[in-house]
Amino acid sequence: MDLNGRVALVTGSAKRVGRAIALALAKRGAAVAIHYRSSRAEADDAVKQIVLGGGRAEAFAADLASVTEIERMVEQVLQHFHHLDVLVNSASVFYRKPLEELTEQDWDVNLDTNLKAPFFLSKAAGLAMRRQGAGKIVNIGDWAGIRPYNNYLPYTVSKSGLIGLTRALAKALAPQVQVNCVALGPVMPPDDYDAAEIERLRQATLTKTLGSPEDVARAVLYLCEGTDFTTGATLMLDGGRLLN
């Protein structure tokens, strides 16, 4: 798919990895719908950065725990840009809590944001893409969906489900829409990680490096414009962490 002139919706794109993906898509000529929940200032700044670079962008707010808000946002994007060609499900919650302390709310927050929301976003956007005759959906997963982290049980279950969802959507939306997943390893560790924890992450990879948001963006670009023959796949972007 040639991204020039296309429209991409990137969830959680006001900051961190989602922002890097949005900026990379804009540089390829795509108009970008910047999704945010509460980070309005950061979303407006991302829009400003894209526009100053000669691109097109608009910010859209939605609480991804609400299917009603998800469907409303996709409709707003379609009304504003008149079509939708790429969806990147990047928004995610990630926090650690031991099994003994997990609550129903912890389970619901992780599964609603990391798995239920990508499904309903992909349903709404994917059906629109299928009617158009073409589209790309990229889910941002985690290698922990294959080999779980300790003390992140609901999170790892949600990311395991996202890999399965990727495969199921690839079948459901074929042949017009290709659906793939990028499973991240250590990229932008959480803010509460200290230097020792970050160094342990680095040493646990085969490359002895941490990934960057730009690495993720390049992987997304490949799945969007580098090939139309890949669907239902999970691309490991983990520095070999899964093998170590």
The catalytic position among 152, 155, 193, 222 is: 155
Does residue 36 carry a catalytic annotation? no
Single-letter residue type at 211 = G
In sequence order, what are the residues at sequence separation of 6 or more whose Cβ sits closer than 8 angstroms to the Cβ of residue 101? Answer: none
Distances from the Cα of 53 to the Cα of 28, 32, 127, angstroms = 11, 13, 31
Angle at 59 between CA 141 and CA 32, to 5 degrees: 60
Pair 162, 145: CB distance under 8 Å? yes
Token digits of residue 110: 């992780």
Residue 60, beta-bridge partner list = 35
Tell me the three state secondary structure of residue 10: strand
Report the C-alpha gap between 53 and 242 in whole angstroms. 38
Per-residue burial over 5-36, b if 16 or more Cβ lie within 10 Å, else e, is: ebbbbbbbbbbbbbbbbbbbbbebebbbbbbb
Token digits of residue 142: 């985690």
Token digits of residue 237: 């972007």
Distances from the Cα of 178 to the Cα of 90, 102, 156, 181, 218, angstroms = 17, 36, 24, 10, 17
Catalytic residues: 155
